[in-house]
C-alpha cells in the first residue's frame, strides 16, 4: 500500500476540542464549570478570541471608507467573513448575505423592509406555536401598524409542528410564514424543506429562523428552498452582535432600505438619495467589524471540525443525557420530537425551575431557567418556566454525569 | 444534607414545611402577589387590630425562596403596624441587595442575605413583602417584576 498523499483530516476528539475553549477551564463557586447553556450563547474558542484581539491590535480601521492600508485590511477582513459565512450556509453568492447584529435584527429587517410596505388590512402572517419571541413580536408590530393579523400553526404534545395544519393555514391572505428551523426550548428540528416546498407552491414567502440550527448542523439555504434565512453568530462560537440574513439577490434588490445612514448609500443629495446595492444597502453605519472577523474565524473553526462531526457528537450527548434523566423520579422532559437537537427542557415535580437552576449553579453547573423567550410555548404546556440543559460538541459525558448527580441532589433538597 | 448560597437549612425547612400556610377567618385584609415571568403566585392575608397585624396567613405556588420568605415573614409581621413593616421591607431590600450584612430586626430572614450574590432572585424574596404591604394599603395586587 502506498502512503496517503495528503494528511488525513484530524479525527474529532472531544477532549482535544474542549481544550480549544479557554473559559471551560474555570471554576464556579469553587467547582469546575459545567456549561450547559450553549443554546443561550456558545462559548468561544481561543482562535476566535485571538482573531478579535489581533484585529484590534493590528488592523483596526473603519471599512469601505478610507484608502489607507488599514482600511483596506479591515474591509478585506470584514468582507472575507461575509464570504466565509455565505459559503458556510450554502448561499449562492456573498452578495445574498446581509450582515446583521443577529437574528432579531435580521427578522426585523424582513418585517420592516420586505413585509410592511405590502401588508394590507385582512392580510395575515403565519408563525408556529414554538417560535422564539424574535419570530413573533416583529410580525405582531408590523401587523398592528397595517391592520393585519398573526395566526399560529399548532404543535403536538410531543412538541412537533403539525405539518398538515400548517399547510392548511397557508391560505391566500398569508403574506409571509415564519418558522424556526430548530426550537430553542424543545429542540425540535422542523421539516423546513417540506414547509418551504408547500409555501413555494402557494407563492408565500417563508422565513426560517436558523439561530439554533446553523451552530449544530450543516445548513444549506438553497437546498431548504426558503426565501429568508436568519441566524446569529454568538451561538455558533462567534462574538455577540453578529449574525446574518440570507435571501436571493432578486428578493433583496426589491427591498427598500430599513436603516438609513452611511455605508448604505450610492449618492446623497438633499434633493434625493440613491442607495447601494444589497447587501450593503441594509448595512447602514459602521458595522461590528471585529465581531465579524471573529465570526469568520468561528466559521473556519467549525468547518475544520466538520459540521457532520458536530452534529453526530451532539446527538450522542443528547441520547446519553436523555437516557440518564428519564430514570429520575418526578422529572418530565418537555419536547420529545424524534428529530431533536441537543436541548433538554425539563420540569421536576414539586421544584421550581429557578430553584433548580440556582442550586445547580452552586454545584458549578450552568443551565437556563425561565420562559426562554417563548411565552406562547410555555402557555401551550401550561407552565411558567422550565429548566433547560443545552449541549454543544465541547461538552462531555462526564459533565452529563455530574449534572445528573447534582440534579438528583438538589431535587432531594427541594422536594 | 445541606445546601448553600441562599438555600440555607432554615430556608429549605420553611420551603418544605411553611408556617402559617392557609387562610384566616374574616375579617381580613388580603392581596395577591404575582410574578408572572417566574409563575409565582402568592396570596397573603392579615387581620389588623388597632393598626397592628395580629394574624398572618399565606397560600400560593412559588419558588422555594418566595415560599420560605413568606413563611419567615409571618414571625416578623405579627405586632407590627404599616410603618414598622415599611421599615422592615426597606431593611430586607438592603440586605438582599448586599447593602447591609445583617439586620437584627429581621431575625431568621437574615438567612436570605446570600441573595446579594443572586440579583436575579431578589424579586422572589421581595414578593412576600410587597404583597403584605399591598394588603395593608388596601391594594389588591403586587409584583416585584419589572417588564423584561
CATH of the domain at A356: 3.90.1150.10
Domain membership of residue B148 (yes or no) is no
Residue A392 structural domain: 14-40+307-414
Chain A: residue whose CA lies nearest to B4: A362
Chain B: residue whose CA lies nearest to A371: B37
Residue A5 has a pLDDT of 45
Question: Is residue A126 helix, strand or coil?
Answer: strand
Residue A1 has a pLDDT of 39
| pLDDT per position as a tens digit, A166-209 | 999 999 999 999 999 999 999 999 999 999 999 999 999 999 99
B37 with A359: Cβ contact below 8 A = no
Domain membership of residue B78 (yes or no) is yes
Q: Average pLDDT in the A242-258 region?
A: 96
A413 with B124: Cβ contact below 8 A = no
Residues A280 and A163 in one domain: yes
Q: 0.90 cut: is pTM over it?
A: yes
Distances (CA, A) of B49 to B26, B28, B74, B136: 12, 10, 16, 12
Residue A7 has a pLDDT of 45
Four-residue CA torsion sign, A376, A379, A385, A389: negative
Residue A302 has a pLDDT of 97
| HSE, side-chain direction, 13 A CA sphere, residue A18 | 17
| Distance in Å, alpha carbon of B26 to nearest chain A alpha carbon | 30
Residues A174 and A289 in one domain: yes
Beta bridge partners of A388: A345, A368
User: Is B101 or B37 the better-scoring residue by pLDDT?
Assistant: B101
Four-residue CA torsion sign, A343, A346, A352, A355: negative
Please say which residue of A264, A284, A303 terminates a domain: A303
Q: Is A147's Cβ below 8 Å from some Cβ in B?
A: no
Please say which residue of A255, A272, A303 terminates a domain: A303
ipTM of the complex: 0.91
Domain membership of residue A28 (yes or no) is yes
Domain membership of residue A386 (yes or no) is yes
Residues A92 and A65 in one domain: yes
Indicate whether B3 pLDDT > 90.
Answer: no
DSSP sequence for A173-227: TEEEEEEESB-TTT-BBP-HHHHHHHHHHTT--EEEE-TTTTTTS---HHHHT-S
Query: In degrees, to the nearest 5, what angle opens at C-alpha A382 toward C-alphas A378 and A386?
Result: 50
Residue A2 has a pLDDT of 42
| Distance from C-alpha of A213 to C-alpha of A330, rounded to nearest angstrom | 30
The count of structural domains within chain A is 2
| pLDDT per position as a tens digit, A126-174 | 999 999 999 999 999 999 999 999 999 999 999 999 999 999 999 999 9
| Distance from C-alpha of A185 to C-alpha of A363, rounded to nearest angstrom | 23
Domain membership of residue B133 (yes or no) is yes
Q: Is A348's Cβ below 8 Å from some Cβ in B?
A: no
Best probe of the A interface among B5, B61, B64, B115, by most A CBs < 10 A, is B64
| pLDDT per position as a tens digit, A63-87 | 977 789 999 999 999 999 999 999 9
Grid cell digits, residue A115: 413585509
A410 with B124: Cβ contact below 8 A = no
Domain membership of residue B146 (yes or no) is no
* Percent of chain B topping pLDDT 70: 97
Residues A274 and A317 in one domain: no
Chain B: residue whose CA lies nearest to A384: B39
**B12, B15, B121 ranked by CB distance to A358: nearest:** B121
The residue count of chain A comes to 415
Residue A10 has a pLDDT of 59
Residues A148 and A127 in one domain: yes
Domain membership of residue A4 (yes or no) is no
Contacts of A353 (CB under 8 A, 6+ apart): A347, A369, A370, A384, A385, A386, A387
Selection from B106, B69, B67 nearest residue B85 by Cα = B106
CATH assignment of the domain containing A130 = 3.40.640.10
A5 burial type by CB count under 10 A (0-12 exposed, 13-18 middle, 19+ buried): exposed
Distances (CA, A) of A169 to A116, A121, A157, A164: 21, 18, 19, 9
Angle between helices B64-77 and A353-362 (to 10 degrees): 100
Domain membership of residue A185 (yes or no) is yes
Domain membership of residue B4 (yes or no) is no
Please say which residue of A303, A322, A340 terminates a domain: A303
| Distance in Å, alpha carbon of A294 to nearest chain B alpha carbon | 29
| Distance from C-alpha of A122 to C-alpha of A146, rounded to nearest angstrom | 9
Residues A154 and A283 in one domain: yes
Q: Is B79's Cβ below 8 Å from some Cβ in A?
A: no
Domain membership of residue A7 (yes or no) is no
Beta strands in A297-377 (DSSP E): 331-334, 343-348, 365-366, 368-370
Residues A53 and A19 in one domain: no
| pLDDT per position as a tens digit, A283-337 | 999 999 999 999 999 999 999 999 999 999 999 999 999 999 999 999 999 999 9
Domain membership of residue B26 (yes or no) is yes
B6 with A409: Cβ contact below 8 A = no
Best probe of the A interface among B1, B6, B7, B145, by most A CBs < 10 A, is B7
Q: Is A373 a catalytic residue?
A: yes
Residue B147 has a pLDDT of 60
Question: Is residue A338 helix, strand or coil?
Answer: coil
A326 burial type by CB count under 10 A (0-12 exposed, 13-18 middle, 19+ buried): exposed
Q: Is A192 left (phi over 0), alpha (psi -120 to 50) or beta?
A: alpha
Residue A4 has a pLDDT of 43
Residue B29 structural domain: 9-141
Q: Which residues of A touch B40 (CB under 8 A)?
A: 352, 384
Q: Which residues of B touch A362 (CB under 8 A)?
A: 3-5, 7
The count of structural domains within chain B is 1
Residues A54 and A145 in one domain: yes
Residue A9 has a pLDDT of 47
Q: Is A87's Cβ below 8 Å from some Cβ in B?
A: no
| Distance in Å, alpha carbon of A384 to nearest chain B alpha carbon | 5
**A359, A371, A384 ranked by CB distance to B7: nearest:** A359
Residues A206 and A251 in one domain: yes
Q: Which residues of B touch A410 (CB under 8 A)?
A: 3
**B3, B4, B63 ranked by CB distance to A354: nearest:** B63
pLDDT band at A355 (very low <50, low <70, confident <90, very high): very high
Domain membership of residue B147 (yes or no) is no
Residues A276 and A136 in one domain: yes
Q: In the block, which residue shows the cell 473559559?
A: A23
Residue A130 has a pLDDT of 97
Domain membership of residue A9 (yes or no) is no
Residues A70 and A206 in one domain: yes
Domain membership of residue A208 (yes or no) is yes
| Distance from C-alpha of A313 to C-alpha of A311, rounded to nearest angstrom | 6
Residues A68 and A29 in one domain: no
Q: Answer for the pair A102, A140: CB distance below 8 angstroms, yes or no.
A: no
CATH assignment of the domain containing B56 = 3.90.1010.10
| pLDDT per position as a tens digit, B74-94 | 999 999 999 999 999 999 999
Grid cell digits, residue A282: 441594509
| pLDDT per position as a tens digit, B40-69 | 999 999 999 999 999 999 999 999 999 999
Q: Which residues of A touch B38 (CB under 8 A)?
A: 352, 354, 370, 384-385
| Distance from C-alpha of B68 to C-alpha of B62, rounded to nearest angstrom | 9
Amino acid at each position: 500500500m502506498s502512503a496517503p498523499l495528503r494528511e488525513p483530516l484530524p479525527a474529532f476528539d472531544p477532549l482535544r476540542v474542549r481544550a480549544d475553549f479557554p473559559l471551560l477551564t474555570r471554576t464556579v463557586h469553587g467547582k469546575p464549570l459545567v456549561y450547559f447553556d450553549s443554546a443561550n450563547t456558545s462559548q468561544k474558542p481561543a482562535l476566535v478570541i485571538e482573531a478579535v484581539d489581533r484585529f484590534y491590535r493590528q488592523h483596526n480601521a473603519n471599512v469601505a471608507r478610507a484608502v489607507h492600508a488599514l482600511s483596506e485590511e479591515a474591509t478585506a477582513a470584514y468582507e472575507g467573513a461575509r464570504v466565509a459565512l455565505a459559503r458556510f450556509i450554502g448561499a449562492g453568492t456573498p452578495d445574498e448575505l446581509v450582515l446583521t447584529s443577529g437574528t432579531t435584527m435580521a427578522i426585523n429587517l424582513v418585517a420592516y423592509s420586505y413585509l410592511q410596505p405590502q401588508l394590507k388590512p385582512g392580510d395575515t402572517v403565519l408563525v408556529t406555536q414554538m417560535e422564539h419571541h424574535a419570530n413573533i413580536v416583529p410580525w405582531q408590530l408590523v401587523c398592528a401598524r397595517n391592520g393585519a393579523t398573526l395566526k399560529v400553526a399548532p404543535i403536538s404534545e410531543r412538541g412537533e409542528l403539525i405539518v398538515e395544519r400548517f399547510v392548511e393555514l397557508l391560505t391566500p391572505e398569508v403574506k409571509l410564514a415564519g418558522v424556526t428551523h430548530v426550537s430553542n426550548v424543545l429542540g425540535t428540528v422542523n421539516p423546513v424543506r417540506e414547509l418551504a416546498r408547500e409555501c413555494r407552491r402557494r407563492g408565500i414567502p417563508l422565513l426560517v429562523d436558523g439561530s439554533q440550527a446553523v451552530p449544530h448542523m450543516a445548513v444549506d439555504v438553497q437546498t431548504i428552498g426558503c426565501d429568508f434565512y436568519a441566524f446569529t453568530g454568538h451561538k455558533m462560537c462567534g462574538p455577540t452582535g453578529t449574525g446574518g440574513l440570507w435571501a436571493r439577490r432578486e428578493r433583496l434588490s426589491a427591498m427598500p432600505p430599513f436603516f438609513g445612514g452611511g455605508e448604505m448609500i450610492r449618492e446623497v443629495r438633499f434633493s434625493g438619495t440613491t442607495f447601494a446595492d444589497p447587501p450593503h444597502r441594509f448595512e447602514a453605519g459602521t458595522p461590528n467589524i471585529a465581531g465579524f472577523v471573529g465570526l469568520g474565524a468561528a466559521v473556519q473553526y467549525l468547518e475544520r471540525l466538520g459540521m457532520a462531526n458536530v452534529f453526530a457528537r451532539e446527538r450522542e450527548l443528547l441520547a446519553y443525557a436523555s437516557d440518564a434523566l428519564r430514570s429520575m423520579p418526578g422529572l418530565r422532559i418537555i419536547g420529545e420530537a424524534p428529530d431533536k437537537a441537543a436541548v433538554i427542557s425539563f420540569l421536576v415535580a414539586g421544584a421550581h425551575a429557578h430553584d433548580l437552576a440556582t442550586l445547580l449553579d452552586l454545584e458549578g453547573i450552568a443551565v437556563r431557567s425561565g420562559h426562554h423567550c417563548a411565552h406562547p410555548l410555555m402557555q401551550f404546556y401550561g407552565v411558567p418556566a422550565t429548566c433547560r440543559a443545552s449541549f454543544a460538541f465541547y461538552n462531555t459525558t462526564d459533565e452529563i454525569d455530574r449534572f445528573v448527580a447534582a440534579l438528583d441532589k438538589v431535587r432531594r433538597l427541594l422536594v | 444534607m445541606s445546601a448553600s448560597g441562599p438555600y440555607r437549612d432554615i430556608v429549605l425547612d420553611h420551603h418544605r414545611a411553611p408556617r402559617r400556610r392557609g387562610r384566616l377567618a374574616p375579617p381580613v385584609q388580603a392581596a395577591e402577589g404575582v410574578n408572572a415571568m417566574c409563575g409565582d403566585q402568592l396570596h397573603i392575608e392579615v387581620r389588623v387590630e388597632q393598626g397592628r397585624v395580629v394574624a398572618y396567613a399565606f397560600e400560593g405556588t412559588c419558588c422555594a425562596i418566595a415560599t420560605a420568605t413568606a413563611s419567615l415573614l409571618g414571625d416578623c409581621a405579627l405586632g407590627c403596624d404599616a410603618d414598622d413593616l415599611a421599615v422592615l421591607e426597606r431593611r430586607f431590600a438592603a440586605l438582599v441587595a448586599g447593602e447591609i450584612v445583617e439586620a437584627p430586626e429581621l431575625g431568621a430572614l437574615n438567612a436570605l442575605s446570600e441573595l446579594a450574590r443572586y440579583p436575579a432572585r431578589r424579586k422572589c424574596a421581595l414578593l412576600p413583602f410587597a404583597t403584605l404591604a399591598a394588603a395593608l394599603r388596601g391594594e389588591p395586587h403586587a409584583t416585584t417584576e419589572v417588564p423584561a
